[in-house]
């Protein structure tokens, strides 16, 4: 028997059952309706849930004209939406399917009538079920309205919708579509059964209580296989602008949740036997090593990322991470030589963008390559693109802020970093290094040294932020501490010198570079 969610959808005529699989197959695409996923040649295609629902609905009615009213009823649940909103989602669906408004190979516009799906639907036996994705998967159940007022259900549903939409932007996660997860609104189905029917590793659930001018949102991430709570949090807010509060809470939940799932997936990867380690496991291990920041960690990160690429040559994030390790070498005076090092970084950053032009990390890292080559305008343009596509993502915002600190925009860098730290309270210590750099540029030395000491303690092998701490101590006139810190710079990288810093550390403003160099010289480098 089909799972509960699928029985409802099939009964409403949304999906076709094919053989033993409830799936829709056409060309090299496969829609897994039980998990709300689209894959192409076995690789998951990242989509916003509403675009996923739109593709699924059109593909489940091949050859038939689907009117705009049909789409509003079945994709927007009857909510009134503008023609431009529908057109925007149609365009996004075409892009996901490799189609466009000119060729209309799969989604054809029928003037003054609607749209028609042109793909040839295959039998499930023609295209065997693909192996499960390596990436962690999560279902967000409808948040409970605990206010005692049915009229407040719109807010709890709105929080849930926003979380699903924002999580869908996280390319490292597989997020079940809204229609599938909302089928379990009644709360009667055990979580382990929901996880099995939807094929997910994690369940997120929560509740919303509104009383007067205050609102409380509780949320918990659950491992259904054990019933353990992996993360529990509550958010209390005073309501001035209800939608602003909704956006703020959503962003904090999504950033913290993504981090918790990544950490749990990393722990799981370490427990796997060597023959079961996959490309995603290698990527997780590479990311963890890279954030530790010492030279041996960066080398280990590169080795793990290259193993991921060997398994999956099209894994954009692995290419981007290799590029990032070369940027770390460049900034810390490690490696075979700065020119060769940054050329390696450029090669892998371009490979990341070529592998998947929609992967934000590729554009972020390519932006850093341009910055290291002192093409700041082009570098910031690449990074703004990634942030614009993922406005609530603290990680991409922070990496953009790091570049701003070198680009002569320290006030803006502080603003972006403080927002990122708010969205991700468990942020990596590398945030503190660039926060300290922006404060140092602004001559706010007392504040800067507090941030820099955190990085100096947690990343004793990361020479560039340690050098900044030495310069900051010199600027404060604390010369004994400055000289001690310079010794740590020498231990982390014997090649990190005044000449190297002057020639290769990429400050856009000459006066900020000289401010850094002169204080390093006072410190004894």
Q: What is the pLDDT of residue 22?
A: 61
Q: What is the pLDDT of residue 155?
A: 79
Rounded average pLDDT over 388-416: 91
Q: Which one is predicted more confidently, 411 or 38? A: 411
Q: What is the pLDDT of residue 277?
A: 81
Phi/psi at 33 (nearest 5 deg)? -75, -20
Cβ–Cβ < 8 Å for 232, 220: yes
Q: What is the pLDDT of residue 255?
A: 82
Instruction: Give 77-96 pLDDT, tens digit per residue.
Output: 888 888 888 988 999 899 88
Q: Which one is predicted more confidently, 358 or 172? A: 358
pLDDT higher than 60, residue 12? no
Longest CA–CA separation in the chain, Å: 79
Instruction: Give 502-515 pLDDT, tens digit per residue.
Output: 999 999 999 999 99
pLDDT higher than 70, residue 2? no
Give the rounded percent of residues in the chain with a pLDDT score beyond 70.
92
Q: What is the pLDDT of residue 16?
A: 36
Among 60-64, 120-124, 251-255, 386-390, name the one with the lowest average pLDDT: 120-124
Q: Which one is predicted more confidently, 122 or 38? A: 38
CA distances from 492 to 66, 323, 462 (A): 64, 21, 6
- For 378-440, give the DSSP string: HHHHHHHHHHHHSTT-HHHHHHHHHHHHHTT-HHHHHHHHHHHHHH-TT--THHHHHHHHHHH
Does the pTM surpass 0.85? The reply is: no
For residues 305 and 468, what is the distance between their CA atoms, to the nearest angstrom?
29
Q: What is the pLDDT of residue 7?
A: 28
The torsion region of residue 199 among left (phi > 0), alpha (psi -120 to 50) and beta comes to: left
Q: How confident is the model at residue 34 (pLDDT cuts 50, 70, 90)?
A: low
Q: How confident is the model at residue 244 (pLDDT cuts 50, 70, 90)?
A: confident
Q: Which one is predicted more confidently, 11 or 265? A: 265
Cβ–Cβ < 8 Å for 520, 463: no
Mean pLDDT of the chain: 85
pLDDT higher than 60, residue 131? no
Rounded average pLDDT over 62-70: 89
Q: What is the pLDDT of residue 35?
A: 65
Cβ–Cβ < 8 Å for 181, 141: yes
pLDDT higher than 70, residue 5? no
Q: What is the pLDDT of residue 134?
A: 66
Rounded average pLDDT over 92-112: 88
Among 121-135, 322-336, 482-496, name the one with the lowest average pLDDT: 121-135
For residues 390 and 258, what is the distance between their CA atoms, to the nearest angstrom?
13
Could you tell me how many residues make up the chain?
525
For residues 106 and 369, what is the distance between their CA atoms, to the nearest angstrom?
38
Rounded average pLDDT over 40-50: 76
Instruction: Give 266-294 pLDDT, tens digit per residue.
Output: 888 888 777 778 888 999 999 888 888 78
pLDDT higher than 50, residue 190? yes
Q: What is the pLDDT of residue 516?
A: 97
Q: What is the pLDDT of residue 10?
A: 33
Q: What is the pLDDT of residue 286?
A: 92
pLDDT higher than 50, residue 128? no
Rounded average pLDDT over 186-207: 86
- What structural domains does the chain harbor? 4-126 (1.10.10.10), 137-268 (3.40.50.10610), 272-391 (1.25.40.10), 413-525 (1.25.40.10)
Pairing of strands 228-238, 214-223: antiparallel
Q: How confident is the model at residue 476 (pLDDT cuts 50, 70, 90)?
A: very high
Q: Which one is predicted more confidently, 402 or 136? A: 402
For residues 326 and 369, what is the distance between their CA atoms, to the nearest angstrom?
9
- For 208-223, give the DSSP string: EEEETTEEEEEEEEEE
pLDDT higher than 70, residue 4? no
Among 179-193, 234-248, 399-413, 419-433, name the one with the lowest average pLDDT: 234-248
Rounded average pLDDT over 6-19: 34
Q: What is the pLDDT of residue 109?
A: 92
pLDDT higher than 90, residue 371? yes
pLDDT higher than 50, residue 27? yes
Pairing of strands 21-26, 17-18: antiparallel
- Which tokens go with 342? 């940054």
């Amino acid at each position: 028997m089909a799972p509960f969610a699928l029985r409802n959808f099939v009964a409403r005529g949304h999906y076709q059952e094919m053989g033993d699989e409830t799936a829709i197959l056409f060309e090299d695409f496969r829609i897994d309706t039980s998990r709300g996923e689209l894959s192409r040649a076995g690789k998951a295609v990242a989509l916003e849930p509403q675009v996923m629902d739109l593709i699924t609905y059109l593909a489940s009615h091949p050859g038939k004209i689907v009117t705009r009213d049909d789409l509003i009823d079945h994709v927007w649940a009857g909510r009134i939406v503008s023609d431009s909103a529908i057109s925007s989602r149609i365009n996004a669906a075409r892009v996901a399917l490799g189609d466009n408004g000119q060729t209309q190979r799969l989604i054809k516009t029928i003037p003054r009538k609607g749209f028609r799906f042109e793909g040839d639907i295959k039998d499930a036996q023609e295209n065997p079920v693909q192996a499960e994705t390596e990436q962690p998967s999560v279902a967000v159940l409808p948040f409970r309205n605990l206010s005692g007022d049915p009229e407040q259900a719109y807010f709890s549903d709105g929080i849930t919708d926003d979380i699903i939409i924002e999580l869908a932007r996280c390319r490292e996660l597989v997020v079940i579509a809204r229609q599938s997860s909302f089928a379990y609104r009644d709360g009667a189905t055990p979580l382990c059964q929901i996880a099995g029917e939807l094929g997910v590793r994690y369940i997120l659930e929560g509740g919303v209580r509104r009383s007067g001018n205050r609102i409380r949102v509780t949320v918990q991430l659950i491992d259904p296989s054990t019933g353990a709570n992996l993360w529990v949090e509550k958010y209390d807010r005073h309501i001035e602008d209800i939608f602003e509060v909704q956006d703020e809470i959503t962003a904090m939940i999504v950033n913290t949740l993504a981090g918790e799932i990544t950490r749990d997936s990393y722990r799981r990867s370490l427990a796997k036997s060597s023959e079961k380690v996959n490309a995603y496991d290698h990527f997780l291990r590479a990311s963890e090593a890279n954030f530790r920041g010492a030279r041996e960690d960066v080398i280990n990160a590169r080795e793990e990322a290259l193993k991921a690429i060997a398994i999956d040559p099209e894994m954009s994030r692995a290419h981007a991470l290799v590029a990032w390790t070369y940027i770390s070498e460049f900034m810390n005076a490690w490696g075979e030589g700065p020119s060769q090092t940054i050329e390696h970084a450029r090669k892998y950053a371009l490979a990341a963008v070529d592998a998947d032009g929609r992967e934000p990390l590729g554009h972020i890292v390519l932006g850093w390559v341009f910055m290291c080559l002192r093409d700041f305008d082009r570098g910031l343009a690449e990074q703004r693109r990634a942030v614009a596509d993922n406005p609530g993502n603290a990680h991409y915002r922070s990496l953009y802020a790091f570049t701003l600190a070198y680009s002569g925009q320290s006030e803006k860098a502080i603003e972006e970093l403080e927002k990122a730290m708010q969205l991700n309270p468990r942020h990596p210590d590398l945030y503190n290094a660039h926060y300290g750099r922006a404060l140092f540029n602004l001559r706010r030395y007392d504040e800067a040294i507090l941030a820099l000491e955190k990085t100096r303690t947690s990343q004793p092998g990361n020479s560039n932020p340690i050098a900044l701490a030495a310069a900051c101590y010199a600027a404060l006139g604390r010369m004994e501490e400055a000289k001690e810190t310079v010794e740590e710079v020498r231990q982390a990288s014997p090649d990190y010198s005044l000449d190297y810093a002057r020639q290769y550390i990429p400050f856009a403003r000459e006066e900020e570079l000289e401010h850094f160099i002169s204080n390093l010289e006072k410190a004894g480098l």
